[in-house]
Structures are given as C-alpha cells and as structure tokens.
Structure 1
C-alpha cells in the first residue's frame, strides 16, 4: 500500500466536505484510486458521479485517469478550467 495526499477543489471539496485527506491505497492508476474513493462514502460517490466533469493532476501535472500512481505524493481533483 502507498500513502498519498488527495486534494479536492471547488465543488468537489464542497461535496466531499474536506479540502484534503491522506489516503492509504493499493490503487495503481488514478481510475483505481477514484474507484476506492467512491467506495469510501456517499459524499465521495456524489463527487465522482460524473468522471468526465473531473480533472486530475499528479504532483501538479495534468494527467488522465489511466495515469499510474507509482511514486506520486499528491493527487489533486478539480473541475475543468475555463478561460476568460
């Protein structure tokens, strides 16, 4: 198992009701981690109900849900960014 810091921004933080948590995980990809998070609580399940509306960064680098978690210290989830 690995330990990662998981950060939530904007409406994800509001739905889960925390800005961050430390997770012990056996996930090998972001998608696996999301599946573990969804199983944690109804709040997590609500936040990740539409994965297409969630973006992710590993150690502050944008990736997709197939990205491997090996060696990652921080996973950040946030809604898509818009310009303006």
Structure 2
C-alpha cells in the first residue's frame, strides 16, 4: 500500500523532511502501525516518533487515534500537540 507521510513542527525539524511517499509492507494497516514502521527505521526516526513522545496523528486531515485504519493513497500526518497562549 502506498501512502503519503507529512511531518510538522518539531517532528519535521528532527527528521529534516516535511514528508514523503512510502510503500508500506503487508500488515501495516493503521496509523499506529505506520508509526511503528517508521520507528523501526532507527536513528532520528526512532527519536522523533518514539512512543514516549506526545504526538498527534491524523489520517486524511482528520485527527485520529493509533487504531485508525489507513487506505491506499491516504495521508498520515504526525505533529506535536499544539498549545495556545
């Protein structure tokens, strides 16, 4: 399955990229599984997307939980929580 990844704010800075297209291996079918797949890349990926970090996720521009199913051609976004002041 091919999807588009988007990274915002501190996640983008840590990864040095605002996004990419990726072909997912079989079995990666949720937003949380995408996160795990990217963490497995190691290095900056593991640090920026670590489960200990507070991150928000969205699928096709809709905020979601890790269990959200993804679909071919979709977009998964990762970004830190936003605070106001």
Q: TM-score range by the shorter chain?
A: 0.7 to 0.9
Instruction: For 1:1-84, list aligned pairs within 5 A.
Output: 2-26=1-25, 27-71=28-72, 73-84=74-85
Unpaired segments of 5 or more residues in structure 2? none
1:40 counterpart SS class: coil
Unpaired segments of 5 or more residues in structure 1? none
Q: By percentage of residues, which structure has more helix?
A: 1
User: What is the RMSD computed on CA atoms of the aligned residues?
Assistant: 1.5
| Cα distance in 2, alignment partners of residues 62 and 3 from structure 1 | 20
Aligned length, in residue pairs:
83
**Structure 1 stretches of at least 4 aligned residues deviating more than 2 Å after TM superposition:** none
Deviates more, 1:71-80 or 1:29-38: 71-80
| Cα distance in 2, alignment partners of residues 23 and 36 from structure 1 | 11
TM-score by length of 1: 0.88
Structure 1 residue 71, shift from structure 2 partner: 4.3
| Cα distance in 2, alignment partners of residues 51 and 68 from structure 1 | 22
Structure 1 residue 40, shift from structure 2 partner: 1.7
